[in-house]
Chains A and B, each alone.
Chain A
Amino acid sequence: GAGVSQSPSNKVTEKGKDVELRCDPISGHTALYWYRQSLGQGLEFLIYFQGNSAPDKSGLPSDRFSAERTGGSVSTLTIQRTQQEDSAVYLCASSSAGTGVYEQYFGPGTRLTVT
């Protein structure tokens, strides 16, 4: 079946612009995660959605970052007033349970470059 998909695969934006990154999780997966991978920082957790529960936003680096998940499926990560330090690969993952010990399935990522 289809895996996790993300769009766009690459995004170049000017400093100060807003960007939206999209994630389509595996159908039926109730948990969805956003991570960021940048040189020097490794893989960082950003935000986690599980079903209808309030999201865990503890990893968001600033209030310029927000995410939503509509209808328990597709998620959008929004970065407002982008800065050069936001340049990174943004990875989305989904899993079939949030409270179990299930592995996460990752999308190919969106490479964001802020010029």
Chain B
Amino acid sequence: SQQGEEDPQALSIQEGENATMNCSYKTSINNLQWYRQNSGRGLVHLILIRSNEREKHSGRLRVTLDTSKKSSSLLITASRAADTASYFCATDATGNTGKLIFGQGTTLQVKP
């Protein structure tokens, strides 16, 4: 079963706009990670936020984590056509040892 649920399932924006994707999860976690998957390719790790962190930045990416609401958001600023991909959140539940539980993903299309 999937731990995370993401919304929206699909998002279409113009190049230069910001894209926000949300993820909710059910159990306590050690950390939450975001991955990107281009069509037909493997997953690429984007950013990891630990359970005691509230916000993290990496380049054009900003991730927030609210453990009280069991939710996270991924913001991509100034989007580019190359950002077109599927984005997945994944949680490493407390007590587990690296086994990731993935959300269903958000498909992002950035139109040039």
Chain A interfacial positions (CB closer than 8 Å to B):
4, 31, 33, 35, 42-45, 48, 50, 56, 58-59, 91, 93, 95, 97-109
- Contact partner of A45 (CB less than 8 A), chosen from B43, B44, B99, is B99
Contact indicator B42/A101 (Cβ below 8 Å): no
- Assembled-state Cα–Cα distance A20/B90 (Å): 27
Pair count A-B, CB < 8 A: 65
- Assembled-state Cα–Cα distance A97/B101 (Å): 17
Contact indicator B2/A31 (Cβ below 8 Å): no
B79 on interface, CB distance cutoff 8 Å? no
Enumerate chain A residues within 8 angstroms of B100, measured Cβ to Cβ. Answer: 33, 35, 45, 104
Chain B interfacial positions (CB closer than 8 Å to A):
2, 30-31, 33, 35, 41-45, 48, 50, 88, 90, 92, 97-105
Given the interface pairs A42-B103, A42-B104, A101-B50, the reply to whether A95 lies near B42 with Cβ below 8 Å is: no
Distance of B11 from chain A, by nearest CB (Å)? 17
Interface centre among B41, B100, B101, B102 (most CB of A within 10 A): B100
- Assembled-state Cα–Cα distance A93/B44 (Å): 10
Contact indicator A109/B99 (Cβ below 8 Å): no
Contact indicator A109/B42 (Cβ below 8 Å): yes
Contact indicator A105/B99 (Cβ below 8 Å): no
- Assembled-state Cα–Cα distance A49/B44 (Å): 20
Enumerate chain A residues within 8 angstroms of B43, measured Cβ to Cβ. Answer: 91, 93, 106
Look across to chain B and name the residue whose beta carbon is closest to the beta carbon of A103: B45
Distance of B52 from chain A, by nearest CB (Å)? 11
Enumerate chain B residues within 8 angstroms of A95, measured Cβ to Cβ. Answer: 98
- Assembled-state Cα–Cα distance A22/B103 (Å): 25
